[in-house]
A and B are shown apart, each in its own frame.
Chain A
Amino acid sequence: DAGVIQSPRHEVTEMGQEVTLRCKPISGHNSLFWYRQTMMRGLELLIYFNNNVPIDDSGMPEDRFSAKMPNASFSTLKIQPSEPRDSAVYFCASSLNPLGGGTDTQYFGPGTRLTVL
């Protein structure tokens, strides 16, 4: 089974440019999460979707960040315009929300390392 797939794995861009990160969750999972990891702040949740609907975007740093999930097998995280402080590793994770009990273990993708010059 393929795990969570993210692309690109590395992205280098210049300040002011638009950046789009992509994620394909594990087939059958109904929740998707976007995280950002930096040395200073560790691993932070940015936004998560349940059944393609954004549930909590309180972690999104500002209006320059937006995320979409047009269908169950694809999500994007967009930064426009990008700034050097956005440099980080961005992870996508997915899980299966249990109905009637159980746990919803999250499985992470390999990440996208973003560098904004």
Chain B
Amino acid sequence: DAKTTQPTSMDCAEGRAANLPCNHSTISGNEYVYWYRQIHSQGPQYIIHGLKNNETNEMASLIITEDRKSSTLILPHATLRDTAVYYCIVRVTGNQFYFGTGTSLTVIP
């Protein structure tokens, strides 16, 4: 069962930061927050994950609230190639990934 809530769709102007929210109010202490994205017709692509602290890599930043009940994925400078469905997933290591329906992000020129 999906334990996350995400908006169905969002738009973002090219070159601007895309901020994708995710609610996970029932998250437990040992559950990680993962983000994947799926560009049309391709396999899901891993973006980033975190437990408590904010994380940053070459693709994105992950901001997790102090109470861990929500998080935000930030794409700092969105490009047209970032148009995709973004999935927020919470899970304990070793458990299944439940992908839910995600947020369809459209980057507008």
Contacts A56-B96, A93-B44, A105-B46 aside, 16 further interface pairs with beta carbons under 8 A come to A4-B43, A42-B100, A42-B101, A43-B44, A45-B96, A97-B94, A101-B93, A102-B93, A103-B49, A104-B94, A108-B44, A108-B45, A108-B46, A110-B43, A111-B41, A111-B43
Number of A-B contacts (CB under 8 A): 40
- Residue in B closest to A6 when the chains form the complex, CB atoms: B43
15 A-B pairs within 8 Å (CB atoms) are namely A42-B99, A42-B101, A43-B44, A91-B44, A93-B44, A98-B93, A101-B93, A103-B32, A103-B93, A104-B93, A105-B46, A110-B43, A111-B41, A111-B42, A113-B41
Say yes or no: is A109 at the interface (Cβ < 8 Å to chain B).
Answer: yes
Main secondary structure of the interface of B (DSSP, over half): loop
Say yes or no: is A106 at the interface (Cβ < 8 Å to chain B).
Answer: yes
The interface centre, meaning the residue of B49, B93, B100 with most chain A CB atoms within 10 A of its CB, is B93
- Residue in B closest to A59 when the chains form the complex, CB atoms: B96
In the complex, the answer to whether B42 meets A105 with C-beta atoms within 8 Å is no
Interface positions of B (Cβ within 8 A of A): 32, 34, 41-46, 49, 93-94, 96-97, 99-101
| Complex CA–CA separation, A22 to B48 (angstroms) | 27
Say yes or no: is A74 at the interface (Cβ < 8 Å to chain B).
Answer: no
- Residue in A closest to B89 when the chains form the complex, CB atoms: A106
Residues of B close to A93: CB separation below 8 A? 43-44
In the complex, the answer to whether A107 meets B49 with C-beta atoms within 8 Å is no
| Complex CA–CA separation, A42 to B87 (angstroms) | 12
User: Nearest chain A CB to B44's CB is how many angstroms away?
Assistant: 5
The interface centre, meaning the residue of A4, A56, A103 with most chain B CB atoms within 10 A of its CB, is A103
| Complex CA–CA separation, A62 to B40 (angstroms) | 28
- Residue in B closest to A58 when the chains form the complex, CB atoms: B96
Residues of A close to B49: CB separation below 8 A? 103, 105
In the complex, the answer to whether A106 meets B97 with C-beta atoms within 8 Å is yes
The interface centre, meaning the residue of A43, A45, A110 with most chain B CB atoms within 10 A of its CB, is A43
- Residue in A closest to B97 when the chains form the complex, CB atoms: A106
In the complex, the answer to whether A106 meets B93 with C-beta atoms within 8 Å is no
